[in-house]
Structures are given as C-alpha cells and as structure tokens.
C-alpha cells in the first residue's frame, strides 16, 4: 500500500508503531474530530467498563480522531468489539 486513497493522499494514516501492542486495547479510527476524549472515555466506561487511552491522535486536518482504548481485561476489550463492530 502506498499511503494514498484512490482519489488523493491519506491524511488519516497511523504508524502502527505509535500504538502500543495490547490484548486489552481496541483501536478506533475516524471519530469526528470535534469529539472530546472525555466523551469517548465516558461512553466506553458506561457501556463496557473502566478504560484509559494508550494512544490519542487528531488527523492533520483535525476532522478525525483516532484513539486506542485500553480496558482492564481482555474480556472487556472483546465485549467492546462484539457490541460495537
């Protein structure tokens, strides 16, 4: 892959090495850039359980938010995947 969409450059590309590896973490990309990380955290804590962030990045154009949400257990991360995929 060359880092480009069919119609232009990818501004939402994330270097995999920037995101810590974990079996408790769910990577979420493409959230609206205006959402606050507290809102994301509150949402997942209300629907899944306690969590924190391993990674937070805003796209260059500030239109998209990317986060890696770390849950306390692998089961909680799996629950998140099943509920929201």
Would you give per-residue pLDDT tens digits along the chain (85 residues)? 334 344 445 545 666 666 667 889 998 989 999 999 999 999 999 999 999 999 899 998 999 999 999 999 999 999 999 999 8
The bridge status of strand 4-5 relative to strand 25-32 is: unpaired
Q: 72 lies in a domain? A: yes
Query: 36: domain CATH number?
Result: 3.30.70.330
Q: 55 lies in a domain? A: yes
Range of the domain at 66: 22-84
Strand order from edge to edge, sheet including 64-71: 25-32, 64-71, 51-58
CB 21 within 8 A of CB 68: no
Helices of type H across the chain: 37-47, 74-84
- DSSP tag of 16: G
Strand-pair partners of 52:
70
């Amino acid at each position: 892959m060359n880092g480009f969409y069919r119609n232009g450059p990818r501004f939402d590309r994330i270097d995999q090495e920037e995101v810590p590896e974990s079996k408790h973490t769910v990577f979420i990309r493409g959230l609206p850039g205006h959402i606050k990380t507290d809102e994301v955290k509150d949402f997942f804590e209300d629907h899944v359980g306690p969590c924190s962030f391993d990674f937070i990045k805003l796209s260059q154009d500030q239109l998209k938010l990317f986060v890696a949400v770390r849950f306390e257990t692998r089961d909680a991360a799996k629950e998140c995947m099943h509920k929201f995929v």
